[in-house]
Amino acid sequence: MSIAPRKPPLQFALRLKRALGGKAGWNGLAAQIAFAAILAWIAYEIVANARTNLETQHIASGFGFLNYNAGFDVNQSLIAYNNSDTYWRVFFVGLLNTILVSVIGIVLATVIGFIVALCRLSPNLLLSRIGGIYVEIVRNLPVLFQILFWYLAVLAALPAPRQSISIFNTFFLNNRGLVVPQPVTEPGLYPFVAALAVGIILALGLRHYARRALFQRGQMIRIWPYVLGCLVGLPLVSMLVFGEPLKFELPQLKGFNFAGGARIIPEFVALTVALSTYTGAFIAEIVRAGVMSVHRGQMEAGSSLGLSRAATLRLIVVPQAMRVIVPPLTSQYLNLTKNSSLAVAIGYPDLVSVFAGTAVSQTGQAIEIIAMTMGVYLLLSLTTSALMSVYGWRINRSMAA
Amino acid sequence: MCRAIAAVVLDDPTKVKFVPLSAKDRFTALQSGEIDVLSRNTTWTVSRDTSLGANFTGVTYYDGQGFMVKKSLKVNSALELNSASVCVQTGTTTEQNLADFFKGNNMKYEVIAFGSIDEAVKAYESGRCDVFTDDASGLYASRLKLANPADHIVLPEIISKEPLGPMVRHGDDQWFDIVKWTLFAMINAEELGITQKNVDTMLKSDKPEMKRVLGTDGNLGEQLGLTKDWVVRIVKAVGNYGETFERNVGTGSPLGIARGVNNLWNKGGIQYAPPIR
For the stretch A17-43, pLDDT in tens is 777 766 777 777 888 889 999 999 999
Residue B145, Cα to own-chain centre: how many angstroms? 19
By residue range, what is the domain housing residue B114? 65-160
Mark whether A281 and A349 lie in a shared domain.
yes
Query: CB B85 to CB A257 under 8 A?
Result: yes
Mark whether A152 and A241 lie in a shared domain.
no
B71 found inside a domain: yes
A73 found inside a domain: no
What digits encode the pLDDT tens for the residues A276-291?
Answer: 999 999 999 999 999 8
Give the up-direction half-sphere exposure of residue B207: CA atoms within 13 A in the CB hemisphere: 11
Mark whether A124 and A146 lie in a shared domain.
yes
Min distance B4 CA to chain A CA atoms (Å): 26
B43 found inside a domain: no
Q: Which pTM does this prediction carry?
A: 0.76
Give the up-direction half-sphere exposure of residue A180: CA atoms within 13 A in the CB hemisphere: 8
Question: What is the pLDDT at residue A47?
Answer: 86
Interface predicted TM-score (ipTM) over 0.85: no
Question: What is the pLDDT at residue A1?
Answer: 52
What digits encode the pLDDT tens for the residues B132-145?
Answer: 999 888 888 888 88
- If you average pLDDT over residues B203-224, what whole number do you get? 85
Under-50 pLDDT residues of chain A? none
Question: What is the pLDDT at residue B31?
Answer: 85
- What is the distance between the alpha carbons of residues A86 and A105, in angstroms, rounded to a whole number? 29
Boundary residue ending a domain (A201, A221, A249): A249
Mark whether A226 and A317 lie in a shared domain.
no
Query: CB A176 to CB B128 under 8 A?
Result: yes
Question: What is the pLDDT at residue A49?
Answer: 87
What total number of domains does chain B contain? 2
B51 found inside a domain: no
Mark whether B149 and B94 lie in a shared domain.
yes
Of B50, B98, B115, the CB nearest to A357: B115
Mark whether A161 and A276 lie in a shared domain.
yes
Q: Which residues of A351-373 are buried (b: 16+ CB within 10 A; e: fewer)?
A: bbbbbbbbbbbbbbbbbbbeebb
Mark whether A136 and A274 lie in a shared domain.
yes
A5 found inside a domain: no
Which residue type occupies A254?
K
Pick the residue from chain A with its C-alpha nearest to B103. Answer: A83
Q: What is the DSSP letter of B126?
A: T
A114 found inside a domain: yes
A325 found inside a domain: yes
**How many C-beta atoms surround the C-beta of residue A126 within 10 A?**
9
Chain B residues whose beta carbon lies within 8 Å of the beta carbon of residue A265:
112
> What are the residues whose beta carbons fall under 8 Å from the beta carbon of A114, sequence distance 6 or more?
A283, A284, A287
Q: What is the DSSP letter of A180?
A: E
Query: CB B120 to CB A347 under 8 A?
Result: yes
Query: Strand, coil or helix: what is A57?
Result: coil
Q: Are B263 and B246 a contacting pair, CB within 8 Å?
A: no
Give the up-direction half-sphere exposure of residue B239: CA atoms within 13 A in the CB hemisphere: 11
Mark whether B154 and B195 lie in a shared domain.
no
Mark whether A216 and A355 lie in a shared domain.
no
Mark whether B150 and B81 lie in a shared domain.
yes
- What is the distance between the alpha carbons of residues B27 and B31, in angstroms, rounded to a whole number? 6
Mark whether A119 and A239 lie in a shared domain.
no
- What is the distance between the alpha carbons of residues A196 and A200, in angstroms, rounded to a whole number? 6
Mark whether A171 and A151 lie in a shared domain.
yes
Q: What is the DSSP string of B127-187?
A: TS-SEEEEEHHHHHHHHHHSS-GGGEEE-S---S-EEE--EEETT-HHHHHHHHHHHHHHH
Chain A residues whose beta carbon lies within 8 Å of the beta carbon of residue B99:
71-73, 83
Using 50, 70 and 90 to split pLDDT, how confident is the model at B157?
confident
CB proximity A302 to B under 8 Å: no
Question: What is the pLDDT at residue A257?
Answer: 65
Residue B65, CA distances (Å) to A82, A400, B98, B213 in order:
21, 68, 9, 36
A6 found inside a domain: no
Which residue type occupies B146?
L
What total number of domains does chain A contain? 2
Query: CB B171 to CB A57 under 8 A?
Result: yes
Residue B87, CA distances (Å) to A216, B153, B264 in order:
65, 15, 34
A392 found inside a domain: yes
Boundary residue ending a domain (B136, B160, B184): B160
Min distance B13 CA to chain A CA atoms (Å): 29
What digits encode the pLDDT tens for the residues B8-65?
Answer: 777 777 888 888 887 777 888 888 888 888 887 788 988 888 888 889 999 999 988 9
Strand B167-169, strand B37-38: pairing:
antiparallel
We report the CATH number of the domain holding residue A335 as 1.10.3720.10
Mean pLDDT (chain B) is: 86
Chain B residues 8-47 with a CB less than 8 Å from chain A: 23-24, 26-28, 31, 47
A72 found inside a domain: no
Pick the residue from chain B with its C-alpha nearest to A65. Answer: B51
Question: What is the pLDDT at residue A374?
Answer: 93
Chain A residues whose beta carbon lies within 8 Å of the beta carbon of residue B73:
256
B274 found inside a domain: no
Which residue type occupies A178?
L
Mark whether A140 and A279 lie in a shared domain.
yes
Phi, psi dihedrals of residue A62, rounded to the nearest 5°:
95, 175
Question: What is the pLDDT at residue A400?
Answer: 66
> What are the residues whose beta carbons fall under 8 Å from the beta carbon of B211, sequence distance 6 or more?
B205, B217, B218
Min distance B5 CA to chain A CA atoms (Å): 23
Q: Are B116 and B138 a contacting pair, CB within 8 Å?
A: no
Chain B residues whose beta carbon lies within 8 Å of the beta carbon of residue A357:
24, 90-91, 113, 115
Boundary residue ending a domain (A198, A217, A249): A249
Q: Are A60 and B48 a contacting pair, CB within 8 Å?
A: no
By residue range, what is the domain housing residue A191? 182-249
- Paired with B133 in beta bridges are B67
Query: Strand, coil or helix: what is B109?
Result: strand
B115 found inside a domain: yes
We report the CATH number of the domain holding residue B156 as 3.40.190.10
Residue B151, CA distances (Å) to A53, A172, A280 in order:
51, 27, 42
Min distance B203 CA to chain A CA atoms (Å): 41
Closest alpha carbon to B5 in B176, B202, B248, B135: B176
Residue B223, CA distances (Å) to A344, B13, B182, B220, B228 in order:
47, 22, 14, 5, 9
Residue B256, CA distances (Å) to A73, B10, B134 in order:
33, 32, 17
Query: Strand, coil or helix: what is A150?
Result: helix
pLDDT greater than 90 at residue B103: no
Query: Strand, coil or helix: what is B257?
Result: coil
Q: What is the DSSP letter of B72?
A: G
Mark whether A283 and A383 lie in a shared domain.
yes
Mark whether B238 and B213 lie in a shared domain.
yes
CB proximity B153 to A under 8 Å: no
Mark whether A161 and A299 lie in a shared domain.
yes
B46 found inside a domain: no
Residue A354, Cα to own-chain centre: how many angstroms? 20
A7 found inside a domain: no
Phi, psi dihedrals of residue A359, rounded to the nearest 5°:
-65, -35
B41 found inside a domain: no
